[in-house]
């Protein structure tokens, strides 16, 4: 039974950056968040159709930050060492930032966004430009056989039907195969009040407790959990067939989550109060900047900032423009609030006083790049974990 605890209001497609002419036909939905008492899963009250988000004009490129390129490079090195010569399949391969590190002969990519599927296909990877389904898993099994590693980064939490997803994974794994996936951690979202992790593409935010419940009813169990710093705190989950050896990290993580109350609806009711307070504080801070005639921009046209700007009602009157390195977002307007997105030339322009960090998860990388801005008194603004200059 789903119990709603948070309403983030009317929201557009988080990565639906658009041109002036498309404003009248922009799609909106109501973003409500609920706790499922049976599985302990935090999930949305309604799900947006996959095709509206993941299509041939999808704009998010995983390879846009050095942090993530390094992250996937280091994981690939480890996997190539621990499981040499394994057959590997990635669900949601995006622009190939992870699979580029593997041998195309033993690697399969699954990516429903045609523009990115084309890129990995051209790099020589057998790419299925489709959503992950049981039917696709069966077809891959018939053609290429079982897989030793099924990997997925920032994708499993994007799929509404987890039972079907996990069943399909289980059916395609070799006997000793491992399913490795990483997604933002619910514990870190609660600790950091980073409610902007919730948007159309994230129908669920995972706890280890909920994932183990869901995997187990589909023949898999968590055997190891690694806590990662990327994307504001993520968990890397290792899952194998039920009956496999489980290490101590699984119970450690579950115990920690029980202490945080992630198995209790009222934890999320309290979180909802903090979300509202965060909204009020951010509006207050930006309004004061405006009163003092400060020039405020945003840094990183993220999916996360779509939630923030639309929930808080922050538009071009408070944030003049957003800079972003992604060519596919530049020259367009941000979803819903229509703040212009421009090229992140080399550095923040010298007329800027403050920059709201849409990409707060890359704060170290960004601060390293923007030493001049900091040296001349420029400040970053973040709402994570509380609204303040950072
Ligand atoms: P970033 C996306 O979320 C969507 P977003 C998706 N649903 C998901 O799960 C996560 O990623 C993983 C830019 N940038 O990674 C690049 C600069 O301009 O936080 C990106 O557009 N300058 C798949 O969109 C954005 O910021 C920089 O120096 O919230 C970062 O987006 C850096 C470092 C980044 O993900």
173-210 pLDDT, tens digit per residue, is 999 999 999 999 999 999 999 999 999 999 999 999 99
Would the CB of 359 count as within 6 Å of ligand 1? yes
249-283 pLDDT, tens digit per residue, is 999 999 999 999 999 999 999 999 999 999 999 99
Q: At 149, is the secondary structure helix, strand, or coil?
A: strand
Q: How far is the CA of 349 from the centre of ligand 1 (A)?
A: 21
Asked whether the beta carbons of 96 and 64 are under 8 A apart, the reply is: no
Which DSSP category does 346 fall into?
S
Asked whether the beta carbons of 254 and 184 are under 8 A apart, the reply is: no
Tokens of 347: 């550095």
Q: How far is it, in rounded angstroms, from Cα 238 to Cα 371?
A: 39
pLDDT over 80 at 29, yes or no: yes
Would the CB of 365 count as within 6 Å of ligand 1? yes
What integer pLDDT is reported at residue 2 of this predicted model?
97
Ligand 1 atom nearest to 299, measured from its CA: 18
pLDDT over 90 at 10, yes or no: yes
Backbone angles phi, psi at 35, to 5 degrees: -115, 125
215-230 pLDDT, tens digit per residue, is 999 999 999 999 999 9
- 158-167, 200-209, 285-294, 343-352 — which is least confidently predicted? 343-352
Task: Single out the residue of 41, 136, 124 nearest to residue 92, CA to CA.
Answer: 136
Would the CB of 65 count as within 6 Å of ligand 1? yes
Q: How far is the CA of 21 from the centre of ligand 1 (A)?
A: 25
Would the CB of 361 count as within 6 Å of ligand 1? yes
Asked whether the beta carbons of 54 and 25 are under 8 A apart, the reply is: no
Asked whether the beta carbons of 367 and 347 are under 8 A apart, the reply is: no
pLDDT over 70 at 346, yes or no: no
pLDDT > 70: percent of the chain: 100
Task: Single out the residue of 94, 98, 101 nearest to residue 119, CA to CA.
Answer: 94
315-328 pLDDT, tens digit per residue, is 999 999 999 999 99
- 110-119, 132-141, 314-323, 345-354 — which is least confidently predicted? 345-354
Ligand 1 atom nearest to 196, measured from its CA: 29
Q: How far is the CA of 5 from the centre of ligand 1 (A)?
A: 27
Asked whether the beta carbons of 138 and 171 are under 8 A apart, the reply is: yes
What integer pLDDT is reported at residue 344 of this predicted model?
78
37-81 pLDDT, tens digit per residue, is 999 999 999 999 999 999 999 999 999 999 999 999 999 999 999
Tokens of 109: 């990519």
Q: How far is the CA of 231 from the centre of ligand 1 (A)?
A: 8
Mean pLDDT, all residues of the chain:
97
123-167 pLDDT, tens digit per residue, is 999 999 999 999 999 999 999 999 999 999 999 999 999 999 999
DSSP-derived secondary structure for 161-222:
-HHHHHHHHHHHEEEEEEEEEEEEBHHHHHHHT-GGG-STT-SEEB-HHHHHHHHHTTTEEE
Q: Helices in the chain by DSSP H: which ranges?
A: 50-53, 66-82, 114-122, 134-144, 162-172, 186-192, 208-216, 248-260, 265-291, 303-312, 363-369, 371-375
Q: pTM here? A: 0.97
pLDDT over 80 at 347, yes or no: no
What integer pLDDT is reported at residue 92 of this predicted model?
98
Which DSSP category does 46 fall into?
S
Would the CB of 324 count as within 6 Å of ligand 1? yes
Which residue has its alpha carbon closest to ligand 1 atom 28? 366
pLDDT > 90: percent of the chain: 98
Q: How far is it, in rounded angstroms, from Cα 149 to Cα 288?
A: 52
Would the CB of 249 count as within 6 Å of ligand 1? no
pLDDT average, residue stretch 290-306: 98
Would the CB of 231 count as within 6 Å of ligand 1? yes
Ligand 1 atom nearest to 153, measured from its CA: 12
Backbone angles phi, psi at 284, to 5 degrees: -60, -50
Mark 49-85 as b/e (b = at least 16 C-beta within 10 Å): ebeebbeeebbbbbebbebbeebbeebbeebeeeeee
pLDDT over 90 at 341, yes or no: yes
Q: How far is the CA of 362 from the centre of ligand 1 (A)?
A: 8
Ligand 1 atom nearest to 94, measured from its CA: 23
Which residue has its alpha carbon closest to ligand 1 atom 8? 154
Q: How far is the CA of 199 from the centre of ligand 1 (A)?
A: 13
What integer pLDDT is reported at residue 321 of this predicted model?
97
What integer pLDDT is reported at residue 345 of this predicted model?
74
What integer pLDDT is reported at residue 348 of this predicted model?
86
């Amino acid at each position: 039974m789903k119990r709603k605890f948070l309403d983030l209001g009317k929201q557009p497609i988080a990565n639906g950056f658009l041109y002036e002419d498309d404003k009248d036909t922009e799609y909106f939905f109501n973003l409500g968040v609920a706790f499922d008492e049976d599985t302990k899963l935090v999930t949305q009250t309604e799900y947006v159709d996959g095709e509206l988000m993941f299509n041939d004009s999808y704009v998010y490129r995983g390879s846009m930050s050095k942090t993530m390129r390094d992250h996937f490079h280091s994981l690939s090195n480890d996997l190539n060492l621990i499981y040499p010569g394994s057959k590997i399949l990635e669900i949601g391969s995006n622009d190939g930032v992870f699979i580029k590190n593997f041998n195309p002969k033993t690697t399969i990519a699954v990516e429903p966004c045609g523009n990115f599927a084309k890129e990995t296909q051209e790099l020589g990877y057998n790419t299925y430009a489709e959503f992950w389904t049981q039917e696709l898993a069966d077809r891959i099994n018939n053609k290429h056989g079982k897989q030793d590693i099924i990997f997925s980064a920032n994708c499993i939490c994007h799929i509404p039907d987890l039972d079907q997803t996990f069943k399909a994974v289980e059916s395609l794994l070799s006997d000793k195969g491992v399913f490795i996936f990483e997604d933002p951690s619910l514990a870190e979202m609660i600790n950091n009040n980073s409610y902007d992790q919730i948007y159309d593409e994230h129908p669920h935010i995972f706890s280890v407790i909920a994932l183990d419940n869901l995997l187990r009813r589909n023949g898999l169990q968590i055997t190891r959990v690694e806590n990662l710093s990327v994307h504001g705190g993520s968990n890397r989950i290792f899952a194998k067939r039920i009956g496999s050896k489980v290490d101590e990290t699984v119970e450690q993580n579950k115990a920690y989550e029980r202490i945080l109350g992630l198995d209790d609806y009222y934890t999320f009711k309290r979180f909802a109060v903090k979300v509202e307070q965060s909204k009020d504080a951010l509006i207050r801070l930006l309004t004061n900047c405006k009163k003092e005639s400060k020039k405020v921009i945003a840094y990183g046209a993220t999916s996360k900032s779509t939630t923030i700007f639309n929930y808080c009602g922050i538009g071009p009157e408070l944030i003049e423009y957003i800079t972003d390195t992604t060519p596919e977002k530049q020259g367009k307007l941000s979803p819903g609030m229509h703040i212009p997105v421009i090229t992140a030339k080399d550095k923040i322009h010298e007329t800027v006083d403050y920059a709201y960090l849409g990409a707060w998860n890359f704060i170290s990388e960004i601060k390293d790049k923007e030493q001049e801005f900091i040296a001349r008194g420029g400040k970053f603004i973040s709402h994570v974990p509380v609204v303040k200059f950072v």
